[in-house]
Structure 1
């Protein structure tokens, strides 16, 4: 199975049409069709449902598309790492994590390195802890930013000297906004908007579940989210109250939204993690050294 053929298949999956994909790849339509048929024979599975003017992916094709994307991404990353060994320090650094104000500290290091080594490029992936660790394990990310507490037994880590504060994002004109801090009894009967990561955490590792105590199992969660920006849009429309970390959306005086911390106060630390025995590119190694110096 060649990387070239995987790229052919991904082009067909993306275009939804073999002729369009062939034009994009600068191939003839019969040549591309033959390559895809040979791939299906090699795998022993039908990947495409062929119709008059378009193609659709079979269930096997959808799985293969995901795996092909991972393989091609890894191949591109590997080629870039070896190219960077022969030239002026260049390369790509892949960082994944949830939304956090601590990203400003990471960004400050990126800016310093950019000034000295403009050939280094950064690729950010936003996702919850499960998404990030899965991509770390597959080698698709160099580093992950995880909110404590989390299982880091498989990883080396560097604690980021920052704390994120938990609280509620809500419309500035709602009665609850008049309070300086939000307690459990304020929330038990309200429509709440929670991140999926918070709900997926096991209760023994979930600081928020401990904070809510006996009310945790009976909360009125009307919406779940992955990115806080979208959750904030729901709050603006009065759909509910967003449980969130501070400084992820605009809650300045000019915003219709405000942030109020939880009481008792609840903060979460953060770790920058990477796989044990990870062999880094020169660019990623320099990045990690710079983070160690900054955080020390």
Structure 2
């Protein structure tokens, strides 16, 4: 199995038909069909279910599609970055960021860094912190931005900033009518809540209520602020989320109140694989973030 056979395989997948794929690749159909058969023989499995006009992927074919896409993406990224060594700070920085972080601090960092190094481009992927770790471990991201607690033994980390935990509620909720921008943790104890799906964050939040010996009713667990906030706006519950979640819905229907007594903080870190060599562009971005840490972060 080589790069050419993977590219041929993906072309057939994308076109759904060997004849169309051959035209796209500017080769004859018989050699392409032969390459696909050889790939199946080498792997010892059937990748396609062949119909009269269209072909469909088998389970093994779907798995190879996923893996081949990532292999070719990593190859392209590696070739581009190697070509930039010794030629100044150019190229691509691939960042995997915790979702609620992406619109806030990250945009400020990218803007400032791009002002320093205008020839650098960015690839930004957003997900939860566990998905960010997976991207790093598979070499599909240069650096990651995650929310504590951070359990990454093979990673270096840079503290970026802390932000308050907030309670997001419908503007019609009685607690939203109260004066002030804060809300005590005790007042949230009797409410229907929505919590982050990540286990470590659930444990942290549940520990707050355990310290106050308060029961809590959980409506749902969410991995995306954007998906949870419509439920909040409908008055179905109060979401406990990082302060930067307000970037996803700043409309009239939702009120954010900072959790107080005691105030709760969420800490954000940039991480990288400890023994992975960064490209010149990614290394410059890491050094830039290190300078932000020494200078006291972004807030």
Which category of TM-score, normalised to the shorter sequence, fits these structures? 0.7 to 0.9
1:142 Cα deviation (Å)? 0.8
Is 1:258 equivalent to 2:260 in the alignment? Answer: no
Structure 1 residue corresponding to 2:185, chosen from 170, 183, 186 = 183
Partner of 1:219 in structure 2? 217
Distance 1:153 1:86, change over 3 A: closer
Deviation at 1:158, TM superposition (A): 0.9
Pairwise CA distance, 1:122: 0.8
Q: TM-score, normalised by structure 1?
A: 0.86
Match of 1:172 in 2: 171
- Cα distance in 1 for partners of 2:108, 2:117 equals 14
Alignment of 1:4-83 (within 5 A): 4-83=4-83
Alpha-carbon distance change, 256 to 69 in structure 1, aligned in 2, over 3 angstroms: same
- Within 1, Cα distance between the matches of 2:17 and 2:195? 40
State the shift of 1:48 in Å. 1.4
Q: Is the 8 A contact 1:90 1:283 kept in 2?
A: yes
Would you say the 8 A contact 2:191–2:237 is kept in 1? no
Shift in Å, 1:140: 0.8
Q: Distance in 2 between matches of 1:75 and 1:32?
A: 22
Shift of 1:88: 4.7
In the other structure, the counterpart of 2:297 is none
Cα shift at 1:8? 2.1
Q: CA deviation at 1:101?
A: 4.7
Q: Report the CA distance shift for 1:101/1:127 in structure 2 as closer, same or farther (over 3 A).
A: closer
Q: CA deviation at 1:193?
A: 3.2
Residue 276 of structure 1 deviates from its aligned partner by: 0.9
Could you say if the C-alpha distance between residues 182 and 60 of structure 1 is closer, same or farther in structure 2, counting changes exceeding 3 Å?
Answer: farther
1:128-147 to structure 2, matched below 5 A, reads: 128-147=128-147
Deviations 1:112-155 (A, max 9, x none): 33234322111111111221111111111111111111213211
Are the equivalent residues in 1 in contact too, given 2:191–2:238 (CA < 8 A)?
no
Structure 1: 5+ residue stretches without partners: none
Give yes or no for contact 1:100–1:164 (8 Å, CA) kept in 2: no
* Structure 2 match to 1:148: 148
Q: How many residues matched?
A: 287
Contact 2:172 2:235 in 1 (8 A): no
1:151 aligns to what SS in structure 2? coil
Q: Aligned-pair distance for 1:96?
A: 0.9
